[in-house]
Amino acid sequence: MERQLDATGGSYLATRMEELGVRLLLGRTTKAIIGSESAEAVELGDGTLIGADLVVVAAGIRPNVELGRQAGLAVNRGIVVNDYMETSHPDIFAVGECVEHNGVCYGLVAPLLEQGKVLAATITGNRGPVYAGTVQAAKLKIMGVDVFSAGAWADAPDAEPVRFEDSAFGVYKKLSLRGGKLAGVILVGDTSDSHRYMEWLRSDADLTAQRRHLLFPPPAADAGLDIAQMADSATVCGCVGVTKGTIIQAIHDSGVNTMSQLKDVTRASTGCGSCTSLCQELLKAVAPEFEEEATKLLCGCVPFTQDGLRAILRSQKLRSVQDVLDIYGNGIGCEVCKPALSYMLDMLWCGDHEEDRSARFINDRVHANIQKDGTFSVIPRIRGGVTTPDELRRIADVADKYKVPMVKITGSQRIDLLGIKKEDLPKVWADLGMPSGQAYTKGVRMVKTCVGTDFCRFGTQDSTSAGIEMERRFENLFTPHKVKMATVGCPRNCAEATVKDIGLVGQEGGWQVVVGGAAGKSVRKADLLITVETTDAALEASELFFQYYREHANYLERTYDFVERVGIDKVRKDTVYAPEIVREALLDRLRKSKARARDAWLEGQTPVNPTQFLPLRPIEELR
């Protein structure tokens, strides 16, 4: 990072990275990569050996000048151009990362846009505007740490540095002044004022009168002054080269009122995200009906959004709830964040993670649904609502043996045994000899079916067989919230597939796959995902949506809220209409999770811990 940071700024960044568990070896050279068939270790110049399964070599970028060289153009590090973007040949022009202007090669988008404007004027006969070079700036987010640097910040005899450091918060700021004007800047940990410093660098303004307030300006009487001082040509988003003028035009022409709309229309803030605060300030200042979208953190114990946490868990390869709480949270957690983190780890690593039983609800710890009197409800899996006389006899025998207070037919075409004592659960499951119906957890509940083609005179598709196979594919998997499904053999919809999380609706010659339905306090008709000709294609479309929901929904977000939030068009684009490689990756991750899933009731034979099935003690005893 020596081109972006001085030694002090680099040490602040290094400290933060080490706190995240990264070991840094600086000032070293690589002597050799050890291994015959694959990487086994890296040998450093001082003889140190570091074991390695994967070696990544990052060598930076180099201008591609071969075409210019073959054309006989003047080439140094890049193809040499003048202020009009002309090469050494008067009829050949060049812009972008391959060019060298006044000895400088640029590797960013913003300089290319400035060069392009000059080139457009030159080749259309409006020669006059010149390219005077771009103030080099880098705005980065490195492992969650914001970093910004621009201009000539290095110490020099004529430079006057202005610094601020706070090691507790990991904030470092350095301004370099020359002759009363800003020459360079470094910001680590807090880059909120980067746009202000960029304006000063571009305008070459005399800052003598503001010297006392360069790092911490006084409260502004005019809250929109910073925005008003920016020229329309000023770049707001350096990643994709979006200017202030472009954003204002989008607000007026496209009716942009929110950050989500701004991202869709202009792509601003879709790169590193460091310009988000400035974009929001622009929206506040210009949009007539600005709507601030609240950033919902998971909870106070782990102050990150769920999207942010998924990115952290994936990039840092964290596999236990306690590791996440120790590194990114308060080390303790609560009943809100621990189950959510437990689900995220299970989903991201397809079940290959360190399960923390304390992070699960009581229902998940004993695999039954607790009732208000402290007893439990047991619902065995009856796939598609189809059972046998033998299963019914076993259920009846268990009800008699354990004096079950109530045996109820559920709305999901299953049988519920209510009022079972906690200490009896393992014996009940053993006597039933049936798999868990998962009626107690945030997971796959059931697939409700109609009679289908075997007996019904209206049936056009075999909904019973399709529903049973659908249930087999998804059972025992965790999801952000409970998932209820249904298959119906014709549009008469006897099993209410159109108000389920996932539904298959039989048609003449095929199936409609619908998603995001609801039949609770608010009823929502499911959206059509796709129409297919075969049962296999319908099941695969269901799998694609199911895994996409598992990976992208917020914890405790039902499918109907998820589909409305994301939009059915995007859901289709990312699942059934996605390229084959994307679809196969979704299905592969689902299959890996399914391969590691197991019937939870098997724990009754060997409890996870001695207290798992001990009877609940009355509150009076605890007092």
- Residues 87-110 have a mean pLDDT of 89
CB 97 within 8 A of CB 115: no
CA-wise closest residue to 56 among 87, 33, 90, 31: 33
Percent of the chain residues topping a pLDDT of 70: 96
> 291 in a domain, yes or no?
no
> 128 in a domain, yes or no?
no
Distance CA(375)–CA(421), nearest Å, equals 5
Pairing of strands 376-378, 369-370: antiparallel
Residue of 526 and 17 predicted with greater confidence: 526
Choosing from 314, 334, 354, the residue where a domain stops is 354
Percent of the chain residues topping a pLDDT of 90: 49
| Residues in a beta bridge with 161 | 176
3-state secondary structure of 486: strand
- Read off the CATH number of the domain in which 73 is found: 3.50.50.60
Residue of 151 and 471 predicted with greater confidence: 471
| pLDDT level of residue 82 (50, 70, 90 thresholds) | very high
| One domain, residues 598 and 456 | yes
| pLDDT level of residue 60 (50, 70, 90 thresholds) | confident
- Read off the CATH number of the domain in which 193 is found: 3.30.390.30
> 130 in a domain, yes or no?
no
Distance CA(240)–CA(13), nearest Å, equals 25
For 249, the enclosing helix (H) or strand (E) is helix 244-254
> 301 in a domain, yes or no?
no
| One domain, residues 452 and 401 | no
> 99 in a domain, yes or no?
yes
Q: Counting runs of H as helices and runs of E as strands, what totals does the chain give?
A: 20, 23
What phi and psi, each to the nearest 5 degrees, are found at residue 358? -70, -15
Q: In what order do the strands lie in the sheet with 30-34?
A: 30-34, 41-44, 49-51
- pLDDT at 223 exceeding the cut of 80: no
- pLDDT at 56 exceeding the cut of 80: yes
Q: Which residues contact 545 (CB under 8 A, 6 or more apart)?
A: 502, 513, 515, 529, 571, 575, 576
| One domain, residues 71 and 161 | no
> 447 in a domain, yes or no?
yes
CA dihedral 289, 294, 295, 296 (to 10 degrees): -160
> 617 in a domain, yes or no?
no
Six token digits for residue 38:
């694959």
- pLDDT at 496 exceeding the cut of 90: yes
pLDDT for 99-157, tens place per residue? 999 988 887 777 888 899 999 999 998 888 899 887 777 777 777 788 888 888 888 88
3-state secondary structure of 548: helix
CA atoms within 13 A on the CB side of 312: 24
CA-wise closest residue to 437 among 359, 384, 502, 396: 384
> Quick one: pLDDT at residue 27?
85
Helices (H), 1-93: 7-19, 66-70
- Residues 88-100 have a mean pLDDT of 93
| One domain, residues 74 and 159 | no
| One domain, residues 37 and 96 | no
> Quick one: pLDDT at residue 484?
96
- Residues 510-519 have a mean pLDDT of 95
CA-wise closest residue to 477 among 502, 443, 503: 443
Query: Which residue carries 């050890």 as its tokens?
Result: 34
pTM for the full model? 0.58
Distance CA(515)–CA(519), nearest Å, equals 13
> Quick one: pLDDT at residue 619?
44
Choosing from 394, 409, 441, the residue where a domain stops is 441
> Quick one: pLDDT at residue 610?
67
- pLDDT at 221 exceeding the cut of 70: no
> Quick one: pLDDT at residue 620?
47
| One domain, residues 395 and 322 | no
- pLDDT at 621 exceeding the cut of 50: no
CA-wise closest residue to 405 among 374, 364, 440, 361: 374
- Worst-scoring range by mean pLDDT, 125-134, 430-439, 474-483, 548-557? 125-134
Cβ neighbours, 10 Å, residue 460: 19
| One domain, residues 447 and 583 | yes
Cβ neighbours, 10 Å, residue 132: 11
| One domain, residues 334 and 430 | no
CB 478 within 8 A of CB 459: no
3-state secondary structure of 373: coil
- Read off the CATH number of the domain in which 432 is found: 3.90.480.10
CA separation, residue 256 to residues 240, 251, 272, 555 (Å): 18, 4, 21, 29
- Worst-scoring range by mean pLDDT, 383-387, 413-417, 476-480, 598-602? 598-602
3-state secondary structure of 31: strand
> Quick one: pLDDT at residue 506?
95
| Farthest CA pair distance, the chain | 98
| Residues in a beta bridge with 443 | 478
For 284, the enclosing helix (H) or strand (E) is helix 276-286
CA separation, residue 179 to residues 6, 157, 201, 216 (Å): 21, 12, 13, 21
Distance CA(546)–CA(1), nearest Å, equals 42
- Residues 75-83 have a mean pLDDT of 95
Six token digits for residue 439:
């009626």
DSSP state of 26: -
| One domain, residues 107 and 256 | no
Q: What mean pLDDT is reported for the chain?
A: 88
CA-wise closest residue to 13 among 2, 56, 196: 2
- pLDDT at 62 exceeding the cut of 50: yes
> Quick one: pLDDT at residue 278?
84
Query: Which residue carries 């008067």 as its tokens?
Result: 90
> Quick one: pLDDT at residue 584?
96
CB 176 within 8 A of CB 185: yes
| One domain, residues 560 and 459 | yes
Q: Is the dihedral of CA 409, 414, 419, 424 positive or negative?
A: positive
Contacts within 8 Å (CB) and 24+ apart, 201-205: 201/135, 201/137, 201/150, 201/151, 202/135, 202/234, 205/181
Choosing from 441, 471, 491, the residue where a domain stops is 441
| pLDDT level of residue 408 (50, 70, 90 thresholds) | very high
- pLDDT at 601 exceeding the cut of 80: yes
| One domain, residues 424 and 534 | no
Distance CA(436)–CA(446), nearest Å, equals 11
CA-wise closest residue to 478 among 587, 322, 597: 597
The b/e string for 137-146 (b: 16+ C-beta within 10 A; e otherwise) is bebeeeeebb
CA separation, residue 57 to residues 20, 513, 619 (Å): 22, 46, 62
For residue 87, what are the domain limits? 66-123
Q: Which residues contact 610 (CB under 8 A, 6 or more apart)?
A: none
CB 484 within 8 A of CB 438: no
CB 391 within 8 A of CB 398: no
3-state secondary structure of 325: helix
CA dihedral 447, 451, 457, 460 (to 10 degrees): 30
Distance CA(163)–CA(178), nearest Å, equals 15
> Quick one: pLDDT at residue 533?
95
> 72 in a domain, yes or no?
yes
Instruction: Measure the N-to-C terminal CA separation of the chain; round to a whole number of Å.
Output: 60
What phi and psi, each to the nearest 5 degrees, are found at residue 69? -65, -40
Residue of 204 and 324 predicted with greater confidence: 324
Helices (H), 287-388: 306-316, 321-328, 337-348, 362-366
The secondary structure of 396-451 as a DSSP string is HHHHHHTT-SEEEE-TTS-EEEEEE-GGGHHHHHHHH---B--TTSSBEEEEEE--
> Quick one: pLDDT at residue 406?
94
- Read off the CATH number of the domain in which 561 is found: 3.30.413.10
Distance CA(17)–CA(545), nearest Å, equals 36
The secondary structure of 100-139 as a DSSP string is EETTB---SHHHHHHHHHHHHHHHTT-----------EEE
- pLDDT at 220 exceeding the cut of 60: no
| One domain, residues 558 and 506 | yes
* Number of structural domains in the chain: 6
pLDDT for 235-288, tens place per residue? 888 777 788 999 999 999 988 888 888 888 888 887 666 677 788 888 888 887
